[in-house]
Chains A and B, each alone.
Chain A
Amino acid sequence: MAVVVGRLLALAFLVCFGTGIYSHFLQDPLPWMVFPTRPTFLYQVTQGIHITAGIACFPLLFAKLYIVFPELFQTPLVGSFRHLLERASIALFVASSLVQIVIGLINTYQWYQLFPFPFRQTHYALSFVIIGSLAIHIAVKLDLITKYWRKNKPVAELVEAPEPAEAPEPADASTGSATARPNLTSDPVRNAIIRTEGVTGRLFDWIDTTPPAEPRASRRGFLTIVGIASAAVVTLTAGQSFKIFDVTNVFGPRKQGIGPNGLPVNRTATAAKVVDAASAPDWTLTVTNGDESKSYSRADLLAMPQTVVELPIACVEGWSQTATWKGVRVGDLVDSVGAKGGISLRATSLEQNSSYAVMNMGPEYVRDDLTLVALELNGDTLDLDHGYPARIIAPGRPGVLQTKWLTSLEVLS
């Protein structure tokens, strides 16, 4: 059972790691990196999966830890230096996994006050610690895992036979004093009884008089419960990222359609301290290319050819929603100052003191027909909280890079 649940949990961890790395490099690309702009929902899906899989890790991780709970009481607690290393690595694995999924969840509630550390950097660094721990954990347990996989027997036989494959710890690797031990069973509680002596042993002796569950039923029941719990947490929250789950979204921190222009907001104009600057009638967007520079008022921009695109806004926190955006193609604006070919762009926001006030955009986005300086959203004037007077919207990028309250665009040589 440890292997069955462990496999699912490892898969969820790897999915979170892969999608997380993708999100990280979208935000902090290495110089040579180029990203796909199609399908336009790519980031919406990868980040939605990141958050949803992260939430699914709660039941899976608790299930896994429940199964291996008796391992806490190995006798002796530490048998050798190797055993100490192994236990320390497990403690690191367990603690980092718990911290990772809890801070990830709390970050989607934006409860930053609970973190005595920077969320993003810590979450990123921990992901390597966790996947590293996972690799080492699999290496240590590889004998068991392969034994389990090779055992192509019917379930009933697996359960009735003494089950080294299900024991969370191999007898010869766990302690230096692996003397003859009674056969382990499929029941973690009974394993604990077999494995412990002394005071805890007497405690478990008392527990031993508890009627054990019939192994097959309890195994099947356990996996059913894990399945139902995982399905429940996913179904009731995933609507923040995936429209098909919107009807069952009762616990997601965002709800589709709620917000100005029918769209949720992450940072308001008030929070960004841009209300005055963004509402100023003399606002202009400055577009520069070396010595060439042009200024556009909102009316100027509205007088240019307008393009309507259907693009999702997808937050790194996992929520996303597709919307209708109308505005001027970024390509047209850079052409107006004589930019040629595949160029990169730097967009600056009116926002002060924010690490996202300045955003760089690679040529794959600048020259994409769907990348706009948006002026309207869902048929109305862009709301102040959505970046009025003008914002960037590009396909397949995280929301933090869809710069709001634009003040300048600068062609990078």
Chain B
Amino acid sequence: MTAIRRWQIALIALGLLLFLVGGITLLNDVNPKRYLGIALWFAGALVLHDGILSFVVFGTNIAMRKTARRVRMPLPAILIVQGALVIAGIMTLIVVPAILKKGIGTGNATLLPLDYGLHLVVFYGVLAAVTVAALAVYFVVRRRRAA
């Protein structure tokens, strides 16, 4: 038996042991009536991510590359724009629940005390400015190289 094989067996055994601990914890600490709720969240996560989000991101990526070729925009420039969109998207996912929860109301004024909507708009603005600057740098470097 090779060293890798031994490691594999040990890791799988460890994994199964941890599954057991997790399962026992779930059985002991969570009312069975709530299992459906957990299962719903699991299914929801897979549907939202694998079924919707992934395809939107993938489709956007393809569409942008196709458009780039049509308008003769170099690919690295497209990658810079895509990178900015990705960063904006992730930040949006994290901050929008805060905005919504603040809208519904919080237990006290020290929870979610900031103007998250405004901050998000400012963040988009700064990100857009940085993206334009990065594009400018890219095109300047490209022109110099070509010359």
Contacts and interface: CB of A to CB of B under 8 A. Distances in A.
Interface of A: 55, 58-59, 62, 65-66, 69, 72, 91, 94-96, 98-99, 102-103, 105-106, 109-111, 115-118, 121-122, 124-129, 131-136, 138-140, 142-143, 146, 189, 207, 210-211, 213-214, 217-218, 221, 224-225, 228-229, 232-233, 236-237, 250-255, 258-259, 264-268, 271, 385
A118 B16 CA distance: 24
A55 B98 CA distance: 13
Nearest to A102: B45
B49 A65 contact: yes
B125 interface: no
Given A136-B12, A136-B15, 17 more contacts: A58-B93, A58-B94, A95-B42, A106-B101, A128-B19, A128-B21, A128-B25, A133-B19, A135-B15, A139-B12, A143-B4, A210-B66, A213-B65, A217-B79, A221-B79, A236-B91, A265-B111
B65 A210 contact: yes
Contact of A264 (B15, B16, B42, B111): B111
Contact of A268 (B21, B30, B93, B108): B108
Q: Which of B8, B18, B26, B29 has the most CB of A within 10 A?
A: B18
Interface in B4-62: 4, 7-9, 11-12, 14-19, 21-23, 25-26, 29-31, 34-38, 40-43, 45-46, 49-50, 54, 57-58, 61-62
B46 A259 contact: no
17 contacts: A58-B90, A99-B38, A109-B112, A111-B101, A124-B25, A135-B11, A135-B18, A142-B4, A146-B4, A211-B75, A229-B86, A229-B87, A233-B90, A236-B123, A253-B111, A259-B110, A266-B111
Most B CB contacts (10 A, CB to CB) among A95, A115, A143, A229 go to A95
Given A98-B45, A135-B15, A255-B114, A228 B40 contact: no
B66 A228 contact: no
Contact of B18 (A94, A117, A129): A129
Interface of B: 4, 7-9, 11-12, 14-19, 21-23, 25-26, 29-31, 34-38, 40-43, 45-46, 49-50, 54, 57-58, 61-62, 65-66, 68-69, 75-76, 79-80, 82-83, 86-87, 90-91, 93-95, 97-98, 100-101, 104, 106-114, 116, 119-120, 122-123
A225 B83 contact: yes
Contacts of A109: 97-98, 101, 106, 111-112
Given A225-B83, A228-B83, A232-B91, A103 B4 contact: no
Nearest to A137: B15
Contacts of A72: 50, 54
A118 B34 contact: yes
Given A59-B90, A69-B54, A254-B111, A132 B19 contact: yes
A72 B58 CA distance: 13
B98 A221 contact: no
A302 B8 CA distance: 63
B8 A139 contact: yes
Given A109-B97, A221-B83, A225-B83, A250 B114 contact: yes
A66 B108 CA distance: 38
B94 A105 contact: yes
Contacts of B98: 109, 251, 253
Contacts of B41: 99, 103, 116-117
Contact of B30 (A121, A128, A142, A255): A121
Given A210-B65, A253-B98, A265 B110 contact: yes
Which 6 residue pairs of A and B lie closest in terms of their CB atoms, listed nearest first?
Answer: A116-B37, A132-B18, A128-B22, A139-B11, A136-B15, A135-B15
A333 B90 CA distance: 51
Contacts of A142: 4, 7-8, 11
B29 A264 contact: no
Given A210-B65, A228-B83, A251-B116, A135 B108 contact: no
